[in-house]
Structure 1
Amino acid sequence: MCGRYANFLTEQDLIDAFEVAVMSDDARLLPPSWNIAPTQKVPIVVPAREPAPVGERHVEVARWGLVPSWAKDPSVGSRMFNARSETMAEKPSFRAAFSKRRCLVPASGYYEWKTGPDGKTPYFIHPAGDAPLAFAGLYEFWRDKAEGDDAPWMASCSIVTVASRDEMQEIHDRQPAMLTSESAATWLAKDAEASDLHDAVAAPAPELAWHTVGKAVGNVRNNDADLIAPVT
């Protein structure tokens, strides 16, 4: 699973790494975070809607934890911050988003906890190079039908996960689906076939590096650069 991640990318980082044409005002106002948890607002990269040119990308803001359009209230999103790649096309909560609303979730890195004899040890997992991570994501829109047609729409998202690969299996059995620039383009393509989308999340991930960090990351109130500092 992926239940905590960090995004301290600048606006220019997002524009350069994800070929972004437009940043929404809300996205510009999001502060950097070293400890993002479900239900918090995060930036997502989405294909621009018409009449923008085909292939243009925008950065919008969504609440982490997908809320299906048919949900009675947004509280269900707190349990839907991850979507398993194996079932995302069939599960009622995710299948509409998988078909029509796919996004990238930019990240500087993410946290995972390894269970051992002395309890759980947190790790910060990040790119081995300079390029940020692009998690495969799904997004959805929801509004409170009880408030009528004038109720505001809320955007929400989920991070797709896959079975852990190679050395990552030693830390946890799941990991975010991390896309290369090529697989990200496939993931965002409006006319992509389901088989191509499954291939995109199954493709080799970018090279990663990791190290143990302090247990302060377990408290969402803690949020500064010290959280990603290596500890022995």
Structure 2
Amino acid sequence: MTSTRHHEGMCGRYANFLTEQELVDHFHIAAVADEPRLFDANWNVSPTQLVAIVVPGKDDDPGRRLEPARWGLVPSWAKDPSVGARMINARSETAAEKPSFRSAFAKRRCIVPANGYFEWQTGADGKHPFYIHPEDDSPLAFAGLYEFWRDKALREDAPWLVTTTIMTTAARGSMRDIHDRQPVMLGSEGVDAWLSRDADQGTLFDVIAAPAPSLAWHPVRKAVGSPKNNAPDNIAPLD
């Protein structure tokens, strides 16, 4: 995917028009945050926007929760939340060691639900967007990380900002014809392992390496390159 600036790490635009019931049923959600915007259909999810994430339950309530987060991870030690705009993706090859992501990789893993995502293929005549989605149109589960940040310069009890990032990996198979990176997309067993507090690093890397769902894709209108364009037409095949 990409944003107005084409991010090198990939995965900078996706679509999520899943209903509350579809999210609850598919991801086995036990509790939903009181945030109506989580269920606004969005055919052009862009960096720094509010998105839905699936997180494991708390110790005294093991059920999964659907929570809001801003897309673009802000490390807890960051001086300014604006750094999140550059951290919409975390490369799976380095996330366990990179200071920006290693704490979240170890302790705060989430799922970012989607219907599909956009990727730009570079050709002789410029960049062309494609919409990529599961062949069976089932919900996508991107492997994600989340983090908490608070501006302590304001006051000690300032509200927490929750942010998230999407893991990426090297593109596989025919996906390489479009881009050299792709989101880490998980099946149901992968979701269980990714959200498990007991998963060791070896297990997590196995989850990342597991096969992605079978995907289909088609070219779409270039208007999706602007966050201002948010309509079902964004995912419609070009004539």
Report the TM range for the smaller structure's normalisation. Answer: over 0.9
Instruction: Report the 3-state secondary structure (helix = DSSP H, G, I; strand = E; otherwise coil) of the residue aligned with 1:158.
Output: strand
Query: In the alignment, what sits opposite 1:105?
Result: 112
Out of 16, 24, 34, which is 1:25 matched to? 34
State the alpha-carbon separation in 1 of the partners of residues 174 and 96 from structure 2.
28
Give the conservation status (yes or no) of the 8 Å contact 1:30–1:42.
no
- Is 1:39 the counterpart of 2:23? The answer is no
Stretches (4+) displaced over 6 A? none
* Deviation (angstroms), 1:49: 1.0
C-alpha distance in 1, partners of 2:126/2:83? 29
2:159 aligned with 1:172: no
Q: Which residue of 2 aligns with 1:63?
A: 70
Deviations 1:34-88 (Å, cap 9, x if unpaired)? 00111000000000112103xx210000000000000001000000000000000
Is the 8 Å Cα contact of residues 38 and 51 (structure 2) preserved in structure 1?
A: no
> Structure 2: how far apart are the matches of 1:130 and 1:138?
24
2:226 is matched with which residue?
A: 219
**TM-score, normalised by the number of residues in structure 2:** 0.94
- Give me the whole-angstrom Cα distance separating, in 2, the residues matched to 1:153 and 1:30: 22
Query: 1:52 maps to what in 2?
Result: 61
How far does residue 6 in structure 1 lie from its aligned partner after superposition? Answer: 0.5
Displacement, 1:150? 1.3
Amino acid in the other structure paired with 1:69 = S
Aligned residues: 230
Q: C-alpha displacement at 1:33, in angstroms?
A: 0.2
Instruction: Measure the CA separation in 1 of the matches of 2:178 and 2:20.
Output: 31
For 1:43 and 1:35, how far apart are their aligned partners in 2? 14
Return closer, same or farther for 1:29/1:175 CA change in 2, 3 Å cut-off. Answer: closer
> Unpaired segments of 5 or more residues in structure 1?
none
2:180 is the alignment partner of 1:151? no
Contact 1:114 1:120 in 2 (8 A): yes
For residues 24 and 61 of structure 1, the distance between their equivalents in structure 2, rounded to whole angstroms, comes to 7
User: Which residue identity lines up with residue 95 of structure 1 in the other structure?
Assistant: R
Deviations 1:131-179 (A, max 9, x none): 2000000000000010121100010000000000001000000000000
Percent of pairs with identical residues:
63
| Counterpart check, 1:81 vs 2:93 | no
Query: Aligned letter for 1:26?
Result: E
- SS of 2:182 mapped into structure 1: strand
The amino acid of 1:175's aligned partner reads Q
1:103-141, CA deviations, whole angstroms, 9 ceiling, x for partnerless residues? 000001000000001111100001111320000000000
CA separation in 1, counterparts of 2:233 and 2:15?
12
Partner of 1:94: 101
Offset of residue 30 of structure 1? 4.0
TM-score (ref. length: structure 1)? 0.97
SS at structure 1 position matched to 2:79: coil
CA distance in 2, matches of 1:164, 1:94: 21
1:120 aligns with 2:127: yes
CA distance in 1, matches of 2:164, 2:137: 25
**Cα pair distance change 1:27/1:133, threshold 3 Å:** farther
In structure 2, the CA distance between the partners of 1:29 and 1:136, relative to structure 1 (3 Å rule), is closer
Please state how far the C-alpha of 1:27 moved relative to its aligned partner: 5.4
Q: Deviations over 1:186-218 (max 9, x none)?
A: 000001000100110110001111000000101
**C-alpha separation between the residues in 2 aligned to 1:59 and 1:201?**
22
